[in-house]
Structure 1
Amino acid sequence: MTTNVGAGERVLYGCMGLGGSWEPEPYGPADIDTAEAAIVAALDSGITAFDHADIYRGGKSEAVFGEVLARTPRLRERITLQTKCGIRRAEDDRPGMYDLRGETITRRVEESLTRLRTDVLDVLLLHRPDPLADPDEIASALTSLHRQGLVRNFGVSNMGAPQIAHLQARLDVPLVANQLEMSLHSRDWVEAGVLLNTPHSTGNGFPLGTLEHCRDHGIRLQAWGALAQGRFTGLQQTPAEQATAVLLADLARRKGTTPESVLLWWLARHPAAIAPVIGTVRPDRIRACRDAATREPDLTHEEWYELWITARGVRLP
């Protein structure tokens, strides 16, 4: 049965930071402990959806997560498990590339299931578009995985509306998610619409109409990079970032929460009900996002715009 998994998830935990080094060296007990501490902090904060990709730390992110699942009875039943495939890193004489050939998708899913020590994925996302991919071949592979009970739901990542529609036309199962870079720092997704018909639209590469397409078709938007790498919560580099940090701290104080939760509320307050993906491995920073995962976004229309304009550093056109 296909369900819109993740529809009720306000925040997802992104597992890219788990597993130790990006180098091919093996992970160790300390890496498993770090993963377990992050998972516990996420669960304590009301976060039960975990986002992976087969390339994260060369597969070690999935592997250490699988180790935690193995040592924690019944944990798998409590969580939503999502991974991505489609990117192949450079190796020997092979360049870094995108690969959504049907046989590659199938093999990558089987490898992810082994590393994660589970018999089914709740959601599989196609990580990036592959210009050489045959959409009919992709659809055939996804349909086979679904019929075998290996994957319950499918989605995409870093794709625009026409690409999504092109694939969906060949699939009987609905695409349920689209994961994009979206934050108060990476604002092309929200500015594409308001900069239309202005000189400032030049350079905005976000595919206009993608948010509307996803909303119309029940495709949940997930935001990677949602905490903006700490640019507004401790690692400010520009006057606009400094001013935004001050505003976030003030809003957090008035609303009885943390700046991190207010920052994520800014995404969730959008009518598309965007679900942020947080990627920190620090338990304290994960717990700072608790209110974003457990409370409705507490931002007025005016407060939402004030954050946007302050982060822009210039007024709207």
Structure 2
Amino acid sequence: MNKIKLGTSDLEVGEIALGCMRMDGLTKNEAAHVIDNALDLGVNLFDHADIYGGGKSEEVFAKAIEMNPSIREKMFLQSKCGIRNGFFDFSKEHILSSVEGSLKRLNTDYLDTFLLHRPDTLVEPEEVAEAFSILKESGKVRYFGVSNQNPMQVELLQKYLKDDLIINQMQLSIMHTPMIDAGLNVNMQHDKAIDRENSALEYCRLNDITVQAWSPFQYGMIKGVFVGNDSFPEVNGKLQELAEKKGVTDSAIAIAWILRHPAKIQPVVGTMNPSRLADIEKASHITLTREEWYEVYRSAGNTLP
């Protein structure tokens, strides 16, 4: 698998990451198969969050591979915090507590990356900075990032932080493209011209922040999978056409479409099916032409100005 560097860090990871939200539903043996298969494919960044399975996903992950230093050095572990029951929480106390919980459940001494999940409008950036400093100086977190935040929210945090934020995890798929739509429909009066993220994609490119694309097979706000969905015949027809042409699956084309963007976006796929992950990984070995990329974009119902 091709590798990318995360933001301004020295971390070189596989360009496709595995999201572990659904790992809590697997047995120890099933989870071990998923993880071993991912590593064999070069998928070595594993994305967690304190809320996934109420923490069980992290526990299953660690127990499945009998976490130890030799296996730990082969992977990059990422977790997130901030979403609580009915509210968001970026307080110093919660950040520190969440990291301690993730470290315990993952049976590791450190996280490679730690992200703030969903914006907290009550955030006090000075508190975040204090928490991050404690975590960095203690060696418990190597690098930090955010999820679902616009440029001004990132700037507000960055003003107080000692280190660069290296990741912004955003929803992106062929059927969910607001951050791309706005950049194509500049100075237009229709809905696609509305900039919902304040040029988040361009901002991340300017500041060497890696965009991680979550739910790359979903449409809407996690309404369902669009690949193979009869409700979307045009986009699936185009995916099948290109899949046959490239000798891969339609899911691989959906990921190749994201990888083709020069922003070096890292898709986070959530499949717990080893054979499907193997099919998806093939996206790393093909490249869509500029014309093919736009064909897929248009097949999703988008028109160009």
> Does the alignment pair 1:46 with 2:42?
yes
Q: How much does 1:204 deviate?
A: 4.4
- What is the aligned partner in structure 1 of residue 60 from structure 2? 64
Deviation, 1:281, is 1.2
Is 1:250 the equivalent of 2:241? yes
Give CA-to-partner distance per residue, 1:247-268, whole Å, 9 cap, x none.
1122122112222121111111
Q: Find 2:129's aligned residue among 122, 128, 139.
A: 139
Matches within 5 A, 1:219-258: 219-228=209-218, 231-237=225-231, 241-258=232-249
Q: Does 1:79 align with 2:75?
A: yes
In the alignment, structure 1 residue 280 sits paired with structure 2 residue 271: yes
Using the alignment, how far apart are the partners of 1:155 and 1:236 within structure 2? 37
**Contact kept? 1:10, 1:292, Cα under 8 Å:** no
| 1:315 maps onto 2:303 in alignment | yes
Structure 1 200/5 Cα, relative in aligned 2: closer, same or farther at 3 Å? farther
Correspondent of 1:17 among 8, 12, 22: 22
Q: 2:258 aligns with which of 267, 292, 297?
A: 267
| CA distance in 2: counterparts of 1:73 and 1:121, whole angstroms | 13
For 1:11, give the aligned amino acid: I
Q: Which residue of 1 aligns with 2:143?
A: 153
Cross-structure match for 1:196:
186
Distance 2:160 2:218 in 1: 35
Q: Which one-letter code corresponds to 2:35 in the other structure?
A: I
Correspondence 1:300 to 2:305:
no
8 Å contact from structure 1 (residues 121, 150) kept in 2: yes
1:127–1:158 Cα contact (<8 Å) kept? yes
Deviation at 1:17, TM superposition (A): 0.7
Question: 2:22, 2:272 within 8 Å by CA — same for their partners in 1?
Answer: yes
User: Number of paired residues?
Assistant: 295
Could you say what the CA RMSD is over the residues aligned between the two structures, in angstroms?
2.0
Deviation track 1:282-312 (CA, whole Å, cap 9, x = no partner) reads: 222111111124x2x5111100000000112
Give unpaired runs (5+ residues) of structure 1.
21-29, 90-95
2:87 is aligned with 1:117: no
Q: Which is further off, 301-310 or 266-275?
A: 266-275
Q: Distance in 2 between matches of 1:189 and 1:264?
A: 17
Question: Structure 2 stretches of 5 or more lacking a match?
Answer: 1-6
Distance change in 2, residues 1:235/1:6 (3 Å): farther
Cα displacement string for residues 73-99 of structure 1 (whole angstroms, at most 9, x for unaligned residues): 72211001000011112xxxxxx1100
**C-alpha deviation, 1:44, in angstroms:** 2.8
Q: Which residue of 2 aligns with 1:27?
A: none
Amino acid at match of 1:308: Y
How much has 1:198 moved relative to structure 2? Answer: 2.1
Identity %: 41
CA positional deviation for 1:201:
3.0
Q: Secondary structure at the match of 1:78?
A: coil
Q: Which residue of 2 aligns with 1:24?
A: none
Which residue identity does 1:85 align to in structure 2? C
Cα drift, residue 69 of structure 1 = 3.3
- Distance in 1 of aligned mates of 2:60 and 2:198: 38
User: Cα deviation per residue 1:104-125 (whole Å; 9 max; x = unaligned)?
Assistant: 1001100000000000000000
> In structure 1, how many angstroms separate the alpha carbons of the residues matched to 2:97 and 2:213?
27
Residue 182 of structure 2 aligns with an amino acid whose one-letter code is A
Displacement of 1:63 after TM fit? 0.7
Q: Would the aligned equivalents of 2:185 and 2:193 in 1 still touch at CA under 8 Å? A: no
In 2, are the aligned partners of 1:225 and 1:278 still within 8 Å (CA)?
yes
1:19-39 deviation line (CA, Å, top 9, x unaligned): 12xxxxxxxxx5222322221
> What is the match of residue 184 of structure 1?
174
Instruction: Report the alpha carbon displacement of residue 5 of structure 1 after superposing the two structures with TM.
Output: 5.4
Amino acid at match of 1:282: N
**8 A Cα contact 2:21 2:270, kept in partner:** yes
1:291 paired with 2:282, answer yes
Looking at structure 1, the residues matched to 80 and 104 of structure 2 have their Cα atoms a distance apart, in angstroms, of 14
Counterpart residue number, 2:4: none
Residues 148 and 171 of structure 2 are in contact (CA less than 8 Å); yes or no, is this contact kept in structure 1?
yes
Give the whole-Å Cα distance in 2 for the aligned partners of 1:309 and 1:265. Answer: 16
Local SS of the residue matching 2:42: coil
Letter of the 1:48 counterpart:
N
User: If the length of structure 1 is used for normalisation, what is the TM-score?
Assistant: 0.87
